[in-house]
Chain A
């Protein structure tokens, strides 16, 4: 079975803090994705990566950056967290279909 894990299920941070969300997959997938999900807005793509050290902006990259130093790991970085980044963050990896992690519910106070 494909396994996608995320470093935390719940996270509380303060405005202005730097936040790292980690995602690890164990299926040697080349493609990895970061989404955020908000009520009424569905899943929105932040960034994706199709290879190590490669990244592409999604629909809402502002305020975020990513890092893909190893194939199995894709990190989402909030350089200076803001309250409007309070959300559920979902990581996925794929060869063809996307497999999702359990999500990280981030609250920025």
Chain B
């Protein structure tokens, strides 16, 4: 299973762009990269998923370089409500047994 490494924590201020990078050096050919957001006492919530290059939705962008050994979640103009833990997950979503390893997550603190 591909193991992920993320910074333990990050601080930002309201209105700034935040970029969180995840390393996954042994990502497999069939693996996708998925990011989740978790608030205290709630289950993780899906943010974005990608395989290569760039993916954008209404919440975030995901940048994946050609070698796919890392990925960067970009949150534009964060607000206080974006304070949460962000998890990077790598796995083959066509194989339930291979989409299971959550890393430690990055605790993002957005300050006023």
Binary B-proximity of A38-52 (CB < 8 A = 1, otherwise 0): 000011010010100
Q: Mostly helix, strand, loop or mixed at chain A's interface?
A: strand
Asked if B96 and A103 sit within 8 Å, CB to CB, the answer is: no
Chain A CB within 10 Å, residue with most, of B96, B99, B100: B96
Contacts A97-B49, A101-B43; A42 near B99 (Cβ below 8 A): no
Chain A residue, CB-CB nearest to B105: A42
Q: How many residues does chain A have at the interface if contact means C-beta atoms less than 8 Å apart?
A: 26
Q: How many residues does chain B have at the interface if contact means C-beta atoms less than 8 Å apart?
A: 23
Contacts A42-B104, A45-B100, A94-B96; A99 near B46 (Cβ below 8 A): yes
Chain B CB within 10 Å, residue with most, of A45, A48, A97, A99: A97
Answer yes or no: A96 CB below 8 A from chain B CBs. yes
Answer yes or no: B77 CB below 8 A from chain A CBs. no
A97 to B92, CA, bound (A): 10
Chain A CB within 10 Å, residue with most, of B42, B44, B45: B44
Contacts A42-B103, A42-B105, A43-B102; A100 near B44 (Cβ below 8 A): yes
> Can you spell out 6 A-B residue pairs with CB atoms less than 8 angstroms apart?
A4-B43, A33-B100, A42-B105, A56-B97, A90-B44, A94-B99
Residues of A within 8 A of B (CB): 4, 30-31, 33, 35, 42-43, 45, 48, 50, 56, 58, 88, 90-92, 94, 96-103, 105
